[in-house]
Amino acid sequence: MKLPTLNTALLLIAGSGLLFSQNVLTGNYDNSRTNANLAETQLNPATVTPSTFKRMFSLAVDGQIYAQPLYLQNVNIPSQGTHNVVFVATMHNSVYAFDADAPATPLWTVNLGPSVPTANYGSAAAPYNDITTENGILGTPVIDPNTGTLYVVAATIWNGSYYYRLHALDVTSGAERFSGPVAIKPQVIGIGDGSVNGTIAFNAAQHLQRPALLLLSGVVYVSFGSHGDSAPYHGWMVGYAAANLQSQVAVFNASPNGSGGSFWQSGRGPAADADGNIYAVSSNGTTDERTAFSDNVLKLDSQTLSVKEWFAPFNFQALNDADEDLGSTGTTLIDGTNLVLTGGKQGIIYLLDKTKLGGVAANDSQIVQSFYAGTFGIFNMALWNRADGPILYLHTVNSTVTAFKMVNGKFSTTPVAQSMTTFGNPFQGMAISANGSNRGSGILWLTSLVRTPAPSHAVLHAYTAENLIEIWNSDMSPADALGTFSKFANPTVANGKVYVPTGAGQLVVYGTTAVGTPKAPAPFITSVVNGASYANGPLAAGEIVTIAGENLGPGTLATATPGPDGTLPSNFDAVQVLFNGIPGPILTTSSNAVSAIVPYEVSGAPAIAVQVVYNGQTSAEVDMPVTQADPGIFSADQSGSGQGAILNCDGSNNSPDNPAPAGAVVTLYATGGGPTQSWVDTAALVSEAIPLASAAQATVGGEPAQVLYAGTAVGKVAGTTQITLRLPADLPSGSQQIVVTIAGEQSPATTTVSIR
């Protein structure tokens, strides 16, 4: 594929409005990292009400979304016209470009390589579980609108070796640009943790690319922290020339002669000011204020990444000893002033003068202001920088959402507003939308986790920004339900819509509708995926599939049950799913997702046309390729990844609390196994064990496992494949990946079995 030249790329992005702030080109909305879109004219407390604000549609992707979606107006996609585009990056290492205004298949999508199973991190004694089950694109990408390029970092594993690669993707096609990708391999002189002969080389297996990327003066900056403080690790920041990714222009290590000092900032990107200074906050580790700068606010020179100034609270060593990172939030710059904000796990807000950070504070004497903003844990905040004084929004553990107003250069230490609701978990995403400084125009958007541990049900809340009165939330109507929570993932508000990441393979889009205007009755399909793994791909006869889209059925989730003849209905809740015109048995229905079984009668077809019929209205066809098998393993929590739906040999559920011994026999459940050796009625519950037509193989923890049986599951629907296998005898304890291969097709490497 020929890549566009620079001039061509500029022409492909139409409209002078491109450079205006309605675009969201970087994490936290801007390089000041305010989490605020102050150019939003359509959404305000008058238009966001239970009768006028709705879930509009969802966009299906192939993995969890931790990165903030980015938004670019008026992008001319070759052969597809001009679109407002929302860009979504997943933990499965895929980047999607979707039309931002209507449900549709992607304008383009690319995958950047195999993701890293997070079970590979940590150890049996200290397993890593902050993120499950894969690490791919975690940090938010950044877009250069002048060249039409999206920069993104993907974690990959190839032949047992770990890599982080920086990619430069054309926003019109996803094609690689500017000599990308480049493997990130910095090194510095030092004798700290992991050094060899006086040099510390970056170890991709030991680090996590959590903060959003920063684009500043033609350089892309990438920052790294650790996997739950699993040593050895350091805080790294690396700069690459945006026009030639093979050119590394600067590198900084926060502890070259010590350890730690990671940059994670709960996903917040390093901030940058107009003078070319970069601001970041390091976390626990070694601190000597000469070469080691852990638990510090750092002001770095953007050309060299050398330390120009720094701030450390007087109790930095106590913070380190108690794991109370100063670096849990990152920095926010207050534009028009010399002030910079940060907050850490202690729950203290620090307001500093960025022109004289002052080094280690003597009893915090040189700071502008510090105060306890709540209980333990500041992980996110938003700033509405208004003409009559900025307002700061944040939340801590077991507290309300609070707002602090700045008066005469300092914040009121008593909240000027707080929500009625108390939230236990502090890992919310948040954003402010407003029409400049206009009073009454502001809304605080907040995503909350209903219960721990994650994954769990999430709720999107809308509060008036001036008094924190809740005016809407996504649980007010079943049709507006958000789905699964994604930690620290900020919603993106742009051009009258709110784009919310989830942990269940979908971006959910909300917006306003005219009062009394019904949603369009015609069903619309956005994706057809494996019903166990939620992976995109070809379909196999007999496979359970999940069809995502809009207006696919009634607003409330309903589950079909077998009729008196023991078969599942092919018409349920006024919904039918057609596969090459053949109705498939239906399992569940809802307005935005339907699950059904691909009839065995389509075997041998060159392709499968999928349609949904609801209340007499038929969707357009979605043509899917066909394969002999498309295996996907069911997970215990039905998320498509993590602990598998697996039975130990005694019939109990396999889990981290109830692991199986190495060498034992376990039974797992999958779908997409393909045809069986004798005919099975797709709609019927299975009454006898019938082996698959194709042999099955399996690996556990990368080791071959003996498959004792692979075929129908007695008592379950025909699309369910039961696989009984003997675990390898030498498996280490902990969560081990299971991969099944049928007819040469592998299941995604996202499901695990627990071994003791």
Tens digits of residue pLDDT in 28-87: 999 999 999 999 999 999 999 999 999 999 999 999 999 999 999 999 999 999 999 999
What one-letter code names the amino acid at 287? T
DSSP state letters, 476-534: SSGGG--EE--TT---EEETTEEEEE-SSSEEEEEEE--TTPPPP-S-EEEEEEETTT-
| Distance of alpha carbon 108 from alpha carbon 96, whole angstroms | 6
List of residues 6+ apart from 62 with CB closer than 8 A: 90, 92, 94, 111, 505, 529, 534, 535, 536
| Distance of alpha carbon 257 from alpha carbon 496, whole angstroms | 50
Mean pLDDT for 608-620 is: 89
Q: Note the pLDDT of residue 455.
A: 65
Nearest to 634 by CA among 729, 720, 575: 720
Nearest to 48 by CA among 448, 458, 473, 359: 473
Residue with tokens 């507290």: 399
The DSSP call for residue 433 is E
List of residues 6+ apart from 628 with CB closer than 8 A: 540, 674, 675, 694, 742, 743, 744, 745
Which CATH class, in words, describes the domain spanning 632-755? mainly beta
| Distance of alpha carbon 427 from alpha carbon 266, whole angstroms | 8
* pLDDT at 448 exceeding the cut of 70: yes
| Distance of alpha carbon 412 from alpha carbon 399, whole angstroms | 18
* Average pLDDT of the chain to the nearest whole number: 91
| Distance of alpha carbon 358 from alpha carbon 745, whole angstroms | 60
For domain 6-512, the question of CATH label 3.40.50.1220 is answered with no
Q: Which two tokens stand for residue 549?
A: 């889209």
The architecture (CATH level 2) of 524-625 comes to: Sandwich (2.60)
* pLDDT at 517 exceeding the cut of 50: no
User: Helix (H, G, I), strand (E, B), or coil: what is residue 74?
Assistant: strand
What one-letter code names the amino acid at 271? A
| Distance of alpha carbon 134 from alpha carbon 114, whole angstroms | 10
What one-letter code names the amino acid at 257? N
Task: Give me the residues paired with residue 292 across strands.
Answer: none
List of residues 6+ apart from 145 with CB closer than 8 A: 13, 18, 19, 23, 25, 72
Residue with tokens 């291969």: 741
Omega cis (within 30) before 133: yes
Task: Give me the residues paired with residue 608 across strands.
Answer: 624
Residue with tokens 């150890």: 123
Contact status, residue 753 vs residue 663, Cβ threshold 8 Å: no
Between residues 317 and 546, which one has the greater pLDDT?
546
Q: Where are the domains of the chain?
A: 6-512, 524-625, 632-755
What one-letter code names the amino acid at 461? H
Mean pLDDT for 676-703 is: 93
List of residues 6+ apart from 473 with CB closer than 8 A: 459, 460, 461, 462
Q: What is the 3-state secondary structure (H, E, C) of 132-158?
A: CCEECCCCCCEEECCCCEEEEEEEEEE
The DSSP call for residue 194 is T
Task: Tell me the per-residue pLDDT of 172-189, one tens digit each, with 9 for 90 and over.
Answer: 999 999 999 999 999 999
Q: Which two tokens stand for residue 435?
A: 């029409």
Nearest to 115 by CA among 152, 158, 151: 158
| Distance of alpha carbon 484 from alpha carbon 447, whole angstroms | 10
What stretch of H or E contains 377? none
User: Helix (H, G, I), strand (E, B), or coil: what is residue 321?
Assistant: helix
Q: Note the pLDDT of residue 16.
A: 28
List of residues 6+ apart from 111 with CB closer than 8 A: 62, 92, 93, 94
* pLDDT at 418 exceeding the cut of 70: yes
Omega cis (within 30) before 453: yes
User: Helix (H, G, I), strand (E, B), or coil: what is residue 318?
Assistant: helix
Mean pLDDT for 358-365 is: 72
| Distance of alpha carbon 114 from alpha carbon 156, whole angstroms | 5
Contact status, residue 367 vs residue 352, Cβ threshold 8 Å: yes
Question: With bands split at pLDDT 50, 70 and 90, how would you rate the model's confidence at 454?
Answer: low
Question: With bands split at pLDDT 50, 70 and 90, how would you rate the model's confidence at 4?
Answer: very low
Mean pLDDT for 475-479 is: 91
Distance of CA 38 to the CA centre of its chain: 24
Q: Which two tokens stand for residue 237?
A: 């920041």
Nearest to 446 by CA among 485, 402, 496, 491: 491
Residue 628: Cβ within 10 Å count: 18
* pLDDT at 167 exceeding the cut of 70: yes
| Distance of alpha carbon 336 from alpha carbon 324, whole angstroms | 31
* pLDDT at 21 exceeding the cut of 60: no
* pLDDT at 20 exceeding the cut of 80: no
- What Cα–Cα distance (Å) separates residue 195 from each residue in 123, 191, 234? 21, 5, 11
Q: Note the pLDDT of residue 154.
A: 98
| Distance of alpha carbon 194 from alpha carbon 203, whole angstroms | 9
| Distance of alpha carbon 393 from alpha carbon 411, whole angstroms | 11
Distance of CA 706 to the CA centre of its chain: 35
| Distance of alpha carbon 629 from alpha carbon 177, whole angstroms | 36
List of residues 6+ apart from 431 with CB closer than 8 A: 29, 35, 36, 37, 382, 444, 445, 490, 491, 492, 493
Task: Tell me the per-residue pLDDT of 700-729, one tens digit each, with 9 for 90 and over.
Answer: 999 999 999 999 999 999 999 999 999 999
Q: Note the pLDDT of residue 521.
A: 61
Task: Give me the residues paired with residue 723 across strands.
Answer: 668, 710
| Distance of alpha carbon 133 from alpha carbon 159, whole angstroms | 19
| Distance of alpha carbon 703 from alpha carbon 701, whole angstroms | 5
Task: Give me the residues paired with residue 57 across strands.
Answer: 509
* pLDDT at 289 exceeding the cut of 70: yes
Same topology for domains 6-512 and 524-625, yes or no?
Answer: no
